Structure 1
């Protein structure tokens, strides 16, 4: 969770299998560049290109986040910077929260979209989404870890 230009960004990563594949492929240019640099006494252009390619892949890999706007729009930024996804918060039916991810179900679809998030960005994102005035859906806690601090918050509010 980072606040930039007055907007809070909640960072996410794709499903675990895609995450491992992407980061494994993005680290390959570093190792190829180091192997080429080890073989020669000077730094060839190909080594600099491989380091540049790694930096580009690194930038694309961390460029995934949510932004919640006041007008009831959830903006999902993916690794492709040319296709931001805008979802009306009122169309979100259910948010399924697990220990490592959240799944957003929109417009009554049976299959949701899963986003892996760390604990604290997920906590603040779910809180901000659930407290948004346009949100009409439900937050479902799927793990058996209901005694984790932010799960207790939701269960504590139900008894009042």
Structure 2
């Protein structure tokens, strides 16, 4: 979670299969450029192109986050020109496991996101404090007494309060 210009960003990654595929493709150019450096005595121009491609793919890979803007939840992903906005009142249920967060909307659309535990906790706390949120949060972890989900039993407070 990052606070930028007074708004909290809660970073996420796609589900595991897309996560592994994307990051495998993203780090391939750096290994190709290292192989080219190893094979040549001078630095070829292709290395700069591959390194630039690597930097762009890594930048796009980290450009995935949630922002709560009043009555709307903005979901920003790889599509830089069209962030997805959904009304918080349209969220029917949130299913939470140890590594994923699934948003179920009223028109029965589901979206699955992978998040680390603390940004996920702060995101759920901030979302639950929104007056437009009328959905339910369902914890699907089998080991409730052994992990951080016990924190949800305590009082909810937003990060910036």
TM-score, length of structure 1 as denominator length: 0.92
- SS of 2:145's partner is coil
Deviation at 1:112, TM superposition (A): 1.2
Q: Per the alignment, do residues 98 and 58 of structure 1 end up closer, same or farther by CA in structure 2, a change over 3 Å counting?
A: same
Alpha-carbon distance, 1:14 to partner = 0.1
**Which SS does the other structure have where 1:147 is aligned?**
helix
The aligned residue for residue 87 of structure 2 is 88
What do the CA deviations read for 1:31-67 (whole angstroms, capped 9, x no partner)? 1101111111111110010000000000000000000
Name stretches of at least 5 consecutive residues in structure 1 with no aligned partner. Answer: none
Q: How many residues of Structure 1 are paired with residues of Structure 2 in the alignment?
A: 155
Identify if the C-alpha distance between structure 1 residues 3 and 108 changes in structure 2 by more than 3 Å, giving closer, same or farther.
Answer: same
Q: What is the 5 A alignment of 1:63-74?
A: 63-70=63-70, 72-74=71-73
**CA distance in 2 between partners of 1:81 and 1:145 (Å):** 38
Match of 2:130 in 1: 132
1:78-105 CA-partner distances (Å, limit 9, x unpaired): 0121120000000000000000010000
Q: Which runs of 5+ in 2 are unaligned?
A: 156-161
TM-score, length-scaled by structure 2: 0.91
In the alignment, the residues of structure 2 paired with residue 73 and residue 148 of structure 1 have an alpha-carbon distance, to the nearest angstrom, of 34
Task: Name the residue aligned to 1:40.
Answer: 40
Tell me the SS of whatever aligns to 2:134: coil
